[in-house]
Amino acid sequence: MKQVLVISGKGGTGKTTLVAGFASLAGNAVIADCDVDVPDLHIILQPRIQEEIPFYALKAPVKDESRCVECGRCREVCRFNAIDEDFNIIDLRCEGCGACAFICPVNAIEMTDREAGRIYISRTRFGPFVHAQLKIGEEASGKLVTEVKRKAKELAEKENKELILIDGSPGIGCPVIASLSGVDLALIVTEPTVSGIHDLERILDVTEHFKIKTSVCINKFDINEEKTNEIENFCNENGIPLLGKIPYDSSITRAMIELKTVIEFSSPKTSEQVKKIWSKIIKRV
C-alpha cells in the first residue's frame, strides 16, 4: 500500500482542489483529509458519514473549588500562563502538561479526559474517506493527524486498497510533520509568486530533513511566467521532478461552487493537466 500526500507550505495554492481531482481519478484508494483544524475536502466529496469517533488527546485539568486554598503554586509552575490571577484555569492556553495537578498540595486539581475533536469514516462517490474536525481552540492537531492516518491505513488494509491519498495542511510545523510520516511521495503545490517560492523552499527543506521523496507542481503558472521559470530552474538545479503546470482558470473556482472536482467540471485544458500530473504520481510510487 502506498501513501501520497499533497502539501504546499503556503496556504491557498490549491491543495484541496487538486486532491479532490485526484480522488476522482484514483480508483482503488482511501482518501484522507489531514488538515484537521480547517478541513475543506469534505465540501467537494460530500461524504455520507458511517462512523463518528471521538478523539481524546491530552488530558485537561479540572479544579475542585471547594478544595482550593488559593496558595498559587499552580500559577507559579505553569509555563503556559494558563492560570489567571484568581487561579482560574484558562482552557485555551492550557497545554495539558499536568504540572498544576502535580504541584497542588491539597489535590484540588484533577487531570481528566477531554474530547479534542472527532474522526469521521465516510463513503464518497470516489471511495472511502477518513476526515476529522479538531475542536475550536484545541491543541494536539498533530496527534489527530496521526490518528486520521492510522484509521485510513486500517481501512485500506481491510478493503484491499492500494493507495492512500492525503490532503495536508499549510505550514511546516506540527500537523505537517505528523502527516509526512510513512509517506511514499509528497507532492508540493506551489504558485509563481514570491511567497509561493519562499514557502516552497522551506517545505522542501522539511521533506528533505525527513527524507521523503518529493515532487512539485505549479498552479496558476501563467499569473507570472517569469516566476514560473524561476521555479522550473530551481527544481532542475536541485533534481526535484516537476510534474506539471496548471493555468489560472476561473472554471476551477466555479467547480468549487458547484461542489464538483476539477475533473468533473473545469475546462478540458485544466482537466488534462490534472490527469497528466496524476499519471506521473502513479508512475513515481
Partner 1 sequence: MIIAIASGKGGTGKTTVAVNLTLSLDNVQLIDCDVEEPNSNLFLKLKLERAEDVSIQIPVIDEEKCTHCGKCSELCQYNALAVLPDKVMVFKELCHGCGLCQMACPQGAITERDRTIGIIEKAEGEIEFLRGVLNIGEAMSTPLIKRLKEKMNREKTVILDVPPGTACPVIEAISGVDYCLLVTEPTPFGLYDLRLAVELCKELNVKFGVIINRDGTGNQDTEDFCNEQGIPILLRIPYDRKIAELYSKGIPFVREMPEWRARFKDIFRKIERVETEK
Return residues touching partner 1 (CB under 8 A): 8-13, 16, 37-38, 40, 43, 58-59, 77, 79-80, 92-93, 95-99, 102-103, 134, 136-139, 141-142, 169-175, 177-178, 191-196, 198-199, 202, 205-206, 209-210, 223-224, 227, 250, 253, 256-257, 259
Q: Which is nearer to partner 1, 134 or 235 (CB)?
A: 134
Q: How far is the CB of 1 from partner 1 (least distance, A)?
A: 26
Q: How far is the CB of 196 from partner 1 (least distance, A)?
A: 8
235 vs 231: CA distance, rounded Å: 6
Q: Which is nearer to partner 1, 165 or 178 (CB)?
A: 178
Name every residue whose Cβ is closer than 8 Å to that of residue 195 and which is 6 or more positions away in sequence.
Answer: 10
Q: Which is nearer to partner 1, 161 or 168 (CB)?
A: 168
Number of other residues whose CB lies within 10 A of the CB of residue 278: 23
270 and 259 in contact (C-beta within 8 Å)?
no
Q: DSSP letters along 70-133, please?
A: ---HHHHH-TT--B-TT--B-TTT-----HHHHH-TT--EEEE--EEEEEEEEEETTEEEEEEE
Q: Which is nearer to partner 1, 99 or 164 (CB)?
A: 99
Q: How far is the CB of 4 from partner 1 (least distance, A)?
A: 20
Cell of 211: 527524507
Among candidate residues 13, 1, 42, 25, the one with its CA nearest the CA of residue 187: 13
Q: How far is the CB of 41 from partner 1 (least distance, A)?
A: 9
Q: Which is nearer to partner 1, 47 or 175 (CB)?
A: 175
